[in-house]
Structure 1
Amino acid sequence: MSVGICRICGERKPLTFEHIPPRATGNDHTVKVYTAYREHGDGGLNADAITRSMFGDGDLDDLKYRQSQRGMGVETICRDCNSYLGVNYVQPFVGLFDDVRQSATNVLAEIGGRKGQAVGLDLRGFPPLAFFKQVVSNFCATADGMLDCKDFLLDRENTDFPERYRLHMFIVPDLGAYKLMTGWMAYLFKGGGACCLACVEYPPFGFVLYDRGRSSSLPDRAGDITELSRCPWGYRPEGMTLCLPVVDAGDRQPYLWGRYPDAV
């Protein structure tokens, strides 16, 4: 167990392993965790490997990796924060994850990742705020510099999600796709400026978090679920549907996700 700065509370403590997605989703077996660093040579970043791993352009055979016996995750959160997240947010997330994954085989097979498709998720009786906070905690664990989310996450009734962020959610049609955790990235525009974002993907869900404070402009995309952060704790809507865009099977670039908002 390593000691470091917890990415939730900001205190220096022993760090525990945070499963992403939660272990209860089935994330409890041996996995290969790839990095974007060269195995040989100067050990620097391998831009070609990054492109292939994110955009599905080729295989990952020559990428450096380590085996994790515990599933996919990171060791960046202290035991106290990990426990609080687990008690309050994990079960609602796992419930929706399982429901969508079980139905996704048939639904997404029909859609086939075609452009212009979306899936409606019925959230009747479902606690939106707990789900939203679980997703945000995943980003805090994988993308550094989000200590401004501390109060939002460690007080389950807090609905003051920092205005700095915008969170988008997508359906991933390829259930066999790699899990993806990027940390912060900058998408550079040809005319100047940039969009700062981070991505977490674990089929059938994909999420992109935009940092308004470090972006000159943000894309106009479907799938914005930021308003779920304003729902009161314990609120279970009698009728609420999320219309989520399906990520095109050939489009692995997170900045472009959500371009096709037409519902089915």
Structure 2
Amino acid sequence: MPKKEVHFGKCAVCGVEGRLTFEHLPPEAAFNKGSMRFSDINHYFERGRLAGQLAHPSEMRHRTSRRGAGRFTLCQRCNNDTGAWYVRHYVEWSYQGMEFRLAGGSSLALPFRIFPGAVAKQIVCMFASACGAGMFEANPSLRKYVLDRDAIGFDPKLRLFCFMTDPRSSKTRQSGITGMLSLGGPSHTFAEISFPPFGYILAIDSEPPSKGLTDITFFSHNHWRAYREMHLKMPMREIHTYFPGDFRTGAEWREALDRPGP
């Protein structure tokens, strides 16, 4: 019988040192179960540096998880509490989103019937796991927002954006805090979680890395038990690489791979 994994560290939500539990990212019931392959983007960059050009994605080193996407990031108490408070509302939101996604989306605003406050709290909790304990330490308003069920809103320099992952996407991805510089344009600081049916950008004192994403920061202005019926426009974005903020189509990515190096 295989040994049970034991992980110790700082809880990404409360910040207390101790034994960590596995946090599904997104929640297991939100289409996140079964075997999945993961890759380390740092290895990809190293292969590309040695080759003098972009390495092909097929050359990336992968590992397999049989329990879905996630990490050992939360203490038992935070895992249980946030799961009991917010997850079922997030799952309902995801199921509605998946129905619209499979139907091909729409240029019209889509009708959602959700608890937006609870959805936002779960998304912020997911970013805690994606970014690590330092995220809430640097942004204490997020810690209060997640741990205090009745808390509404967080630091205005932080904004949540949402989109639907295009069914033609070939990847999912999670990134911690990322800085993106554009020659002659604005810089971006953000984290990303993209997993069907939705993708999320947490923008930090900057605009998101793609125009036209739906700003759902206002979800956080609702009490977690407040039910709302709302219409939201949800742009589609394709995910084909492990690079945060990269929304190139499959054709654009293949063209970049075929382009000769310097």
TM (normalized to structure 2)? 0.78
Query: Match for residue 181 of structure 1?
Result: 174
- Mapped contact 2:168–2:238 kept (Cα < 8 A): no
The range that moved more, 1-10 or 158-167, is 158-167
For residue 61 of structure 1, report the CA deviation from its aligned partner. Answer: 2.0
What 5-or-longer segments of structure 2 have no aligned partner? 1-5, 248-262
- Give, in whole Å, the separation in 2 of the partners of 1:34 and 1:227: 34
- Mapped contact 1:119–1:171 kept (Cα < 8 A): no
Q: Does 1:241 align with 2:234?
A: no
Find 1:227's aligned residue among 210, 218, 224. 218
Find 1:122's aligned residue among 106, 111, 114. 111
For residue 22 of structure 1, report the CA deviation from its aligned partner. Answer: 0.8
- Give, in whole Å, the separation in 2 of the partners of 1:99 and 1:195: 30
Query: Match for residue 202 of structure 1?
Result: 195
- Mapped contact 1:7–1:77 kept (Cα < 8 A): yes
Query: Match for residue 39 of structure 2?
Result: 34
Query: Match for residue 137 of structure 1?
Result: 125
Q: How does 1:68-217 map to 2 (within 5 A)?
A: 68-108=65-105, 118=107, 120-124=109-113, 126-144=114-132, 145-147=134-136, 148=140, 149-174=142-167, 177-191=170-184, 194-212=187-205, 215=206
- Mapped contact 2:111–2:230 kept (Cα < 8 A): yes
CA gap of 1:119–1:170, structure 2 versus 1, over 3 A, is farther
For residue 175 of structure 1, report the CA deviation from its aligned partner. Answer: 6.2
- Mapped contact 2:48–2:55 kept (Cα < 8 A): no
Identical aligned residues as a percent:
28
- Give, in whole Å, the separation in 1 of the partners of 2:38 and 2:239: 22
How many residues were matched structurally? 234
RMSD of equivalent CA atoms:
3.0
The one-character-per-residue Cα deviations of 1:188-234 (angstroms, maximum 9, x if unpaired) are 1224863111110011211111111xx5x666644000011011232
What SS is found at the alignment partner of 1:189? coil
Residue 177 of structure 1 aligns to which amino acid in structure 2? S
Query: Match for residue 258 of structure 2?
Result: none
- Give, in whole Å, the separation in 2 of the partners of 1:65 and 1:162: 37
CA gap of 1:139–1:95, structure 2 versus 1, over 3 A, is same
The one-character-per-residue Cα deviations of 1:21-53 (angstroms, maximum 9, x if unpaired) are 1111232211111111338xxxx74558xxxxx
What 5-or-longer segments of structure 1 have no aligned partner? 49-56, 109-116, 258-264
The one-character-per-residue Cα deviations of 1:102-139 (angstroms, maximum 9, x if unpaired) are 3422234xxxxxxxx64533233x21100111111111
CA gap of 1:47–1:159, structure 2 versus 1, over 3 A, is farther
What SS is found at the alignment partner of 1:135? helix
What SS is found at the alignment partner of 2:233? strand
TM (normalized to structure 1)? 0.78
CA gap of 1:218–1:180, structure 2 versus 1, over 3 A, is closer
- Mapped contact 1:37–1:63 kept (Cα < 8 A): no
What SS is found at the alignment partner of 2:194? strand
CA gap of 1:64–1:231, structure 2 versus 1, over 3 A, is same
Query: Match for residue 52 of structure 1?
Result: none
- Mapped contact 2:176–2:192 kept (Cα < 8 A): yes
